[in-house]
Structure 1
C-alpha cells in the first residue's frame, strides 16, 4: 500500500431535513445544540460511527479492514486476538509484546489505524493516536428543534389492551429540526499515518465513506441527511505548508435567502482559490 506523504485538511458539509442528526441522551434525545447560540451540533464520535459502518459494509470485515469499535463488540476479545497471533505470542519482553500487538491491531483494523484507539483495557496493546481527527460539526445558522406527538396503533402487553378496552393506541414523541446545514473540519497527519500504516488506499476509502455514508445509514429518526460539499486542501509536504485555520477561512458559506433556510440551495459556498498559500492545492470532491 502506498505511503501517505502529504498533510491534508478538509471542510465537510452535510445537511438534514426534518430529522434528528444526532440526539443528545442527556436531553431526552433532542437534537444537540449550542445552548448559547442555538447552533446545531453533531459530535465527531457520531460521524466516525457512520464512517465505521460504511467501511464495514463496503469491505465486509475483510483482511485489513476489520472494525474494532463495532456493534456488540467485546473490545478485550478483539485485543486478545493480537496476543494470540503467532508472532506476538512468541515475544517474551513485555514492552516488545505490547508494541507487536499494537502493530497487529493497526494492520488488521481500519478504524484503529484511521482514528486511533486505547487498547490497554485487558491484555495490553498500547494506545494509537490516529492520523484523522474531526471537529464537532456545527450548523451555519441556529436550528429550531421541535417535538412531535406520534401514535402507534398497537400496544406492548395484554394488560395495556385491557385498560384501553381494545383501542390499542400508544403515544410517543419524535424530535426533529426542519433544516440545518452543518460544517465539520478535519485534519489528516501524514506523520501519524506512517506510524499506524494508514495508506493512500485507506484515504480513498475514507473520502468514499464521507460521500456515501448517509445513504448506508437511513432511519426514520434522521430524516433526509445528505453529504453536500467536501473541500480538501492538500499540502506538498508531510508537515504542511500553511495553518489549517487559514485554509478554512478561504471557504465561505453565506445564506442567499431572507427566509429561514430549508435546503442547500439557500446557501452559496465559495472558495477563495486566489488566496491559496504556496505549496497548497484545493480540490472539491463533492
Structure 2
C-alpha cells in the first residue's frame, strides 16, 4: 500500500475546571452531558474547529513553520471557514483543491452538499469531476467523554450598564453554565488507507501533532478559561494496517477514579496513567509519545 505514513491512534486527556468545553445549542449552550450516565461530552466538530482556528492563525502558523519547516508543496488554507466563495472553490480542479486546503486533506469534506439547483455543478458531478469535493477524512476524532459524571454550575450574569435602550442595567439569567471539574478523554484515529485519495501528507499529520498540545490554551474564551491538556498520547503503529488493537491502547491510557471516590472534584481523585504504566503494550507499536513532551 502506497501511503505516506503508518496508522496512528491517540488519546487526548483534558482537564476541565469551571469551564464549558462544548455547549449544546439545543440546550441553551448547556455543557453536553450523556443522558444515559451523566458523563460529559465533547463533540468531534468542536475539537476540529479548534484545529482549524489555529491553522487559520498567521501568528500560530509562522511558529509552526519555523518548527516543522514545511516543504512548500502544499498550502495550509482552511476550507471550513466563514465567508468562503463556494462557486470559486467548486471551480477548482482536483489537484489545485487538494493542494490548497489542509482540513480537507486531513479531516475530509462534504463540500458537494447544497449544490442542487446549480446546473453547471450538477453536470460536473454526473461526469465525475467533483469527487474530490466529498471525501472521508484520513484523521477521525471520536466523541470526548468524561471519566466520571460531571456537575454543572450555573450563574446569572449582571451588567452595570444596560444592554437595552430603556434599561440602566442588564441581567442574563443563567448565562453562565460550566462544568465544575472533569477529566475528559478524546480519541483520534489516523487511517492511511485513504491518504492517497484526499492528498494527505506526512506534513499534514505532523502539523496536527504540533497543534495538539496548544489546542485549548490558544483557543480560550470567556466560558472556556481553564481547560488544560494533561496528556496528548499519540501512538504510531509498526505498519500501515495497524500492529495492535487500538482499544487496548485506549483502555490502558484512560484515567480512572481512585478506589472509594464517588464524586470527584479535583485531579487528585484520579489515577492518571503514564507511559511507564502500560507495560509491554508499548512494544506493539513503533512508538508512543506524549505530544506535550515535544513543546
Band of TM-score, shorter chain: 0.7 to 0.9
Is 1:169 equivalent to 2:170 in the alignment?
A: yes
- For 2:150, the equivalent position in structure 1 comes to 143
Q: Any idea what the Cα deviations from partners look like across 1:75-121, whole Å, max 9, x if unmatched?
A: 61452351xxxxxxxxxxxxxxxxxx333222110000010001224
- For the pair shown, which has the larger CA radius of gyration, 1 or 2? 1
Instruction: Give the match for residue 221 of structure 1.
Output: 223
Q: CA RMSD in A?
A: 2.2
Cα distance, 1:151 vs. partner?
A: 0.5
Contact 1:16/1:224 (8 A) holds in 2: yes
Question: How many residue pairs were aligned?
Answer: 258
For residue 227 of structure 1, report the CA deviation from its aligned partner: 1.2
Superposition map of 1:158-237 within 5 A = 158-161=165-168, 168-172=169-173, 173-237=175-239
1:260 is displaced (CA, Å) by 4.1
- TM-score normalised to structure 2 length: 0.80
Q: Give 1:279 shift.
A: 5.0
Which residue matches 1:12? Answer: 12
1:157-189 superposed Cα distances (whole Å, 9 cap, x missing partner): 33234xxxxxx2334321011111110111001
Structure 2 equivalent of residue 91 of structure 1: none
Query: Mind listing any 5+ residue stretches in structure 1 that lack a counterpart?
Result: 83-100, 162-167
Q: How does 1:267-282 map to 2 (within 5 A)?
A: 267-270=270-273, 271-276=277-282, 278=284, 280-282=286-288
Question: Match of 1:202, SS?
Answer: helix
Higher mean C-alpha displacement, 193-202 vs 5-14: 193-202
Q: CA offsets, 1:189-226, max 9 Å, x none?
A: 12222322222221111012111021221111113011
- Please name the residue that 1:42 is paired with: 42
Q: Residues of 2 paired with 1:145 and 1:78: CA distance?
A: 44
Match of 1:272, SS? helix
2:134 aligned with 1:109, yes or no? no
The answer as to whether partners of 2:139 and 2:188 remain within 8 angstroms in 1 is yes
In structure 2, stretches of 5+ residues that fail to align are 63-71, 116-120
Residues 220-267 of structure 1, C-alpha deviations (whole Å, 9 max, x = no match): 111301111111221111111122223222224123484743443432
- Contact 2:156-2:171 at 8 Å conserved across structures: no
Note closer, same or farther for the CA distance 1:192–1:155 as it changes in structure 2 (3 Å cut): same
| Alignment partner of 1:76 is 2:82 | no
Shift in CA distance, 210/152, structure 1 to aligned 2, threshold 3 Å:
same
Alpha-carbon contact 2:164-2:170 (below 8 Å) kept: no
